[in-house]
Amino acid sequence: MILKVAAGYIDMGETIEERENYLRSACTAWNIACLPPLKREREIKRYIDQYRKINQADEIDCKNLEEDVRLLIKQKDRLYPGIKVQIVNSKIAHINGRHFVTVVSARTN
């Protein structure tokens, strides 16, 4: 499901490490999308603030990430509105010339 939500987004990465970063961002957007609407804004802001601090990102980078996260949330809501599982881990492996994505999720109440 995450690959369908993030179609094209993960592939923007040129290396496996960059693709994993995009995958992690997509997973974060998925998890935020599973929250009640009133909690989403706070979590988006918190995520962008953490990104800014960790990456010493400028305002343009943060604004672009926020736009991407909001688009991914809309896509998740459109494709899987009733699914409320949280993603707890994700990984991309390169095996025999192909990329394989593993995502671990947990149901929430």
Distance CA 77, CA 29 (A): 11
The CB density around residue 36, as the number of other CB atoms within 10 Å, is 6
- Note the helical H segments in the chain: 2-5, 16-33, 37-55, 59-79
Mean pLDDT of 24-40: 95
- Chain segment 57-74, per-residue pLDDT in tens: 999 999 999 999 999 999
Looking at residue 107, its pLDDT comes to 78
Judge whether residue 7 has pLDDT over 90: no
pTM, rounded to two decimals: 0.91
Distance CA 88, CA 92 (A): 14
Distance CA 56, CA 73 (A): 24
> Which amino acid appears at position 61 of this protein?
D
